[in-house]
Amino acid sequence: MTTLSDPPQGSFRLSMLIYDTRYRSLTFQAIAAILLALAIWYLGSNLIQNLRVQGLDIAYDFLVDPAGYDINQTLIEYDSQSAHWRAAIVGILNTLLVAFLACVTATVFGVFAGVLRLSNNWLVRKLMSFYVEIFRNIPVLIWILIIFFIMIAVMPAPRAFRGDEPDATMLLGLFAFTNRGVYIPAPVWGPGSLVVVATFVASIIGIFAYRRYATKLLYDTGRLLPTGWPSLVILIVPTLLVFFIMGRPIGLDVPELGGFNFRGGIQVGAPLIALWFALSIYTGAFIAENVRAGIQAVSRGQTEAAAALGLRPGRVMKLVVLPQALRVIIPPLISQYLNITKNSSLAIAVGYADITATLGGITLNQTGRAIECVLLLMLFYLTISLTISAVMNVYNNSVKLKER
């Protein structure tokens, strides 16, 4: 027996693609997709034909030619005789390095400032408001240049660390802060060092597991376990034990002054520090507003109920307010991470060799392959942006409010 709401019975007809509501939306979507594909094919073929007429065939064989230029800071082996593709890889790694560091520190600054903006202390609240309003209303490029020039003008030159010129001293005998950058000890890996590193990684995983167990126990039974000193013990004790058991396989290569510059260790160049710190404090001001909005989106009754149970203000913020505020904080936070990655392209202003400076700058000028280089730049930024968005959306789905 059929009703008026049942679809008509019978064989499939082509007219149903237009008049049947079960297929109509799919038909229009398919037509739109076909038209879009045809438009892209027409524009692409037209571009290639016009370029061919001008003698500008798109080709990427230039990537295997020697680059012919040096890069001041690299994470992999590179010299002027390396190929252009390797110079591009160096630029990609440099971009990912400064983007990762800036995302981490900007999050710390933003959460710290966002929470303190709601402090009951008038002075603290106004100081955080001053930070937010000052840093987010001045272009990030200006902050990059200011920090870079301050480092050059204020920090001592490497020659000031000579024994006969005690104008500067190394911090703890290990770290040197100069106008060329910061020199830090480099690890020297010996036999058995992999075991120590694996233990350290396992300790970090153990900290997260313990803190998650402590939180679950608190929610289930109301029993409060300490998390501060146990986390510190889990992080340090196992690694130290394995370090001495394996015969101290990891050493330090301490930077030493030789000639006009330091030798040994790791140099964190002034351009990297300026770019990293500027992106962090600039984006941290925006994240602080996101955090403040997320906290204020949580009902005040939640805070009052938690305080009525005897929880201290710090634990109320950590266990009650912030977990609920994350569903408001995370979506705009994704946009801020994307902004950090794209704003890192301003690195060329202070001579930091990111992907825009290498592939989109020197390589483009030397080879004249502007279209190919720009297409590769677009592909890189699109890929990294989609990756960040996908990862953060997975995390956002895990913390969002679950409907019953």
Condensed to tens digits (0 to 9), the pLDDT of residues 162-178 reads: 665 555 667 777 788 88
CB 387 within 8 A of CB 107: no
User: In the Cβ-directed half-sphere of 200, how many Cα atoms lie within 13 Å?
Assistant: 8
With cut-offs at 50, 70 and 90, classify the pLDDT of residue 216: confident
Per DSSP, the three-state class of 269 is strand
- Look at residue 29 and tell me if it is in a domain: no
Q: What CA–CA distance (Å, rounded) separates 68 from 404?
A: 62
- Look at residue 13 and tell me if it is in a domain: no
Question: Which DSSP letter does residue 361 get?
Answer: I
- Look at residue 332 and tell me if it is in a domain: yes
Total structural domains within the chain: 1
Burial of 401 (0-12, 13-18, 19+ CB in 10 A): exposed
- Look at residue 69 and tell me if it is in a domain: no
Order of strands across the sheet with 266-269?
176-178, 181-184, 266-269
- Look at residue 100 and tell me if it is in a domain: yes
- Look at residue 165 and tell me if it is in a domain: yes
Say yes or no to pLDDT of 4 above 50: no
Condensed to tens digits (0 to 9), the pLDDT of residues 340-395 reads 999 999 988 888 888 999 988 888 988 888 888 898 999 999 999 999 999 888 88
H or E stretch at 263: strand 261-263
For the chain, how big is the Rg over CA atoms in Å?
Answer: 28
With cut-offs at 50, 70 and 90, classify the pLDDT of residue 5: very low
Say yes or no to pLDDT of 1 above 80: no
What residues make up the domain containing 153? 84-185+254-399
Mean pLDDT of 289-308: 85
pLDDT of residue 10: 59
Quickly list DSSP for 204-262: HHHHHHHHHHHHHHHHHH-PPPP-HHHHHHHHHHHHHHHHHHTT--EEEE--EEETTEE
Instruction: Provide the mean pLDDT of the chain.
Output: 85
Amino acid at 354: D
User: In the Cβ-directed half-sphere of 150, how many Cα atoms lie within 13 Å?
Assistant: 11
CA-based nearest residue to 227, from 212, 211, 203: 211
Centre a 10 Å sphere on the Cβ of residue 384 and count the other Cβ atoms it contains.
18
Say yes or no to pLDDT of 109 above 90: yes
- Look at residue 33 and tell me if it is in a domain: no
Q: Which residues contact 236 (CB under 8 A, 6 or more apart)?
A: 203
pLDDT of residue 167: 54
Number of H helices, E strands in the chain: 14, 7
Mean pLDDT of 186-205: 88
Q: What is the pTM of this model?
A: 0.81
Q: Which residues contact 156 (CB under 8 A, 6 or more apart)?
A: 167, 168, 177, 178, 179
CA-based nearest residue to 118, from 256, 298, 278: 298
pLDDT of residue 179: 82
Say yes or no to pLDDT of 7 above 70: no
Token duo for residue 297: 């989106």
**322 vs 338, which has greater pLDDT?**
338
Say yes or no to pLDDT of 6 above 50: no
CATH of the domain at 286: 1.10.3720.10
Percent of the residues in the chain that have a pLDDT greater than 70, as a whole number: 93
List phi, psi (to 5°) of 269: -65, 155
H or E stretch at 33: helix 21-53
pLDDT of residue 401: 64
Which of the residue ranges 8-17, 208-217, 263-272 would you say has the lowest mean pLDDT?
8-17
Q: What CA–CA distance (Å, rounded) separates 364 from 374?
A: 8
CB 123 within 8 A of CB 254: no
- Look at residue 388 and tell me if it is in a domain: yes
